[in-house]
Structure 1
């Protein structure tokens, strides 16, 4: 058996090992931003993996719409641009590409749908099913609300209706106000099953309910967060993170809360805590140089003194 190394050599090897380990921690999160295009992004939403809430991250992300960045909600039926977010009412509004409006009507080639596992559900949206065939739109149909027939008449006054293969002012029984709107067992608005060719969705009728050119089109969704599924520990700490200029995120193991700071570091506290004061520092790739020089600043005088003693 070989003799153990001399004590000075062993101590030097140990110090070098500690120095090496302090500069080689793996990255934990991607860069997170507080805006995506013109939309302010706050918890529980995020701009990429590791940002926002781990419950929302698989469904909402920031991507390109061809001219700039925009938030998108993803589901098993497609990807839907997020046109607005109300953080006070916990509501987001989508603009599905397959949706018709007064200025642009077209057959819907895909169903609108949500994942049942997502934290979203349909809110106060009025769905108008267009280019339908009886008996879907008969007065005895359980999916149609005849008290809103005036909305069909108003929308069918839009010249774009001809794009559906219908004449101007088509028969009102080819339109159905689907109220209350509901998704099927697959989480979809199945137009084919309801014998309709297109749909419009309205979140606000504006000041003139009979003028479809001033309606606000979109699909409004309510969302909820907090509790065990959404890491309530992180939810309670997020307000302090955002108040200090940080962006809330999460990191392994266990999707633990992190506050992503603009200074190039992540912390489990908030961005008002500096690196030297914060014992809960979480290393990421953007902090590599900072960690390296901080570690060298700490260890270099120790190593220099030790080597001096050896010689």
Structure 2
């Protein structure tokens, strides 16, 4: 009776498998590993430097692994070249990014605009993730329309603050400059009330919207060198920080190769992206450890599937088990019992 392991009644010991059997087994395992080792992404992806006409520089990135991990997956570039900011309250078109005075200008299509006039649409509160390095700029002003006077303190701010200095921040200014001079459409409101209030947090903004019909955000854009040279425009200014690290400065240094600051998408550790390879310091530091095209390149990952890992592990376990049972003559491996 033939079998993979044959027992003889005369000696009561195991006869080793033939060399052909081992060769067949090895071939099957190697073929299985080859079939299951599938690259997740086979083509290298380099960091795009623009989305539409908006430049994308450090610390931002629209490709995973580019920029700073602090802003990972916050910016999205659509197929039509529209840049959007992702927040807990939704996705908002980005109008502009300034890196000299670090901020983004975003628009919220749910907010009131001049075309709405006295016809108010359902709106929702804009919010930011407090765990990120983004923050609402103090250069924003918020206008609220048709608020309930039973629930909201609506009075001219100077008069109210003189009478109640300790409650000055809780009032909605009905005599604000912006309510009297709405940007681009000063006479858009005919029957609706308006007041200006700066919410301290997203929750206070939600509270206001419970008692007001709608709201809009106005930011002050600098048009000159003086702080008074500003014009009011609709939109939301979002400030951001630019993390400055020695690694990134060395990576960007043109004398050291002029790389692009990025990170490993799996560990979020710093990487300097240098064209055909990534390094952990700077491009011309040839002694540093690097990631070749088979590793992580600007968000491109190659990997082994779970099935492949299981197959390789099973093969190693089987060989160890067979090797432990294989007969050895006087401690010497012969051509009859060796595995390779």
Q: TM-score range by the shorter chain?
A: 0.5 to 0.7
Counterpart of 1:109?
123
Counterpart of 1:92?
104
TM-score for both structures, normalised by structure 1: 0.62
Counterpart of 1:78?
90
Contact 2:140–2:237 (CA<8 Å) still a contact in 1? no
Counterpart of 1:200?
217
Deviations 1:234-266 (A, max 9, x none): 5444433799554322115522222334x4543
Deviations 1:113-144 (A, max 9, x none): 11121211111333232322232323457444
Contact 1:238–1:248 (CA<8 Å) still a contact in 2? yes
Instruction: Specify the SS of the correspondent of 1:127.
Output: strand
Q: Does 1:39 align with 2:66?
A: no
**Residue of structure 2 aligned with 1:256, choices 236, 256, 269:** 269
RMSD: 4.4
Instruction: Find the aligned partners of 1:54 and 1:91 in 2 and give their Cα distance.
Output: 18
Counterpart of 1:155?
182
Mark the structure with the bigger radius of gyration. 2
Counterpart of 2:329?
none
**Residue of structure 2 aligned with 1:61, choices 59, 67, 76:** 76
Instruction: Specify the SS of the correspondent of 2:69.
Output: coil
* CA positional deviation for 1:195: 2.1
Counterpart of 2:195?
176
Instruction: Find the aligned partners of 1:286 and 1:156 in 2 and give their Cα distance.
Output: 48
Deviations 1:73-107 (A, max 9, x none): 11111111221222122222211222334456553
Q: Is the deviation greater in 70-79 or in 235-244? A: 235-244
Query: In structure 2, do the counterparts of structure 1 residues 142 and 24 end up closer, same or farther at CA, with 3 Å as the change threshold?
Result: closer
Contact 1:114–1:188 (CA<8 Å) still a contact in 2? no
Instruction: Find the aligned partners of 2:173 and 2:256 in 1 and give their Cα distance.
Output: 49
How many residue pairs get matched? 251
Contact 1:93–1:220 (CA<8 Å) still a contact in 2? yes
Q: Does 1:138 align with 2:135?
A: no
Counterpart of 2:23?
none
Deviations 1:126-184 (A, max 9, x none): 323232223232345744464962210111882783xxxx53xx46xx211113x3223
Query: In structure 2, do the counterparts of structure 1 residues 155 and 254 end up closer, same or farther at CA, with 3 Å as the change threshold?
Result: same
Instruction: Specify the SS of the correspondent of 2:97.
Output: strand
Unpaired runs of at least 5, structure 1: 5-19, 288-311
Contact 1:91–1:223 (CA<8 Å) still a contact in 2? yes
Contact 1:268–1:282 (CA<8 Å) still a contact in 2? no
Instruction: Find the aligned partners of 2:180 and 2:38 in 1 and give their Cα distance.
Output: 67
1:202-217 paired onto structure 2 within 5 Å: 202-204=219-221, 215-217=232-234
TM-score for both structures, normalised by structure 2: 0.58
Instruction: Find the aligned partners of 1:56 and 1:242 in 2 and give their Cα distance.
Output: 27
Counterpart of 2:165?
none
**Residue of structure 2 aligned with 1:240, choices 236, 240, 253:** 253
Unpaired runs of at least 5, structure 2: 1-15, 20-33, 161-167, 225-229, 298-340
Query: In structure 2, do the counterparts of structure 1 residues 76 and 188 end up closer, same or farther at CA, with 3 Å as the change threshold?
Result: farther
Instruction: Specify the SS of the correspondent of 1:47.
Output: coil
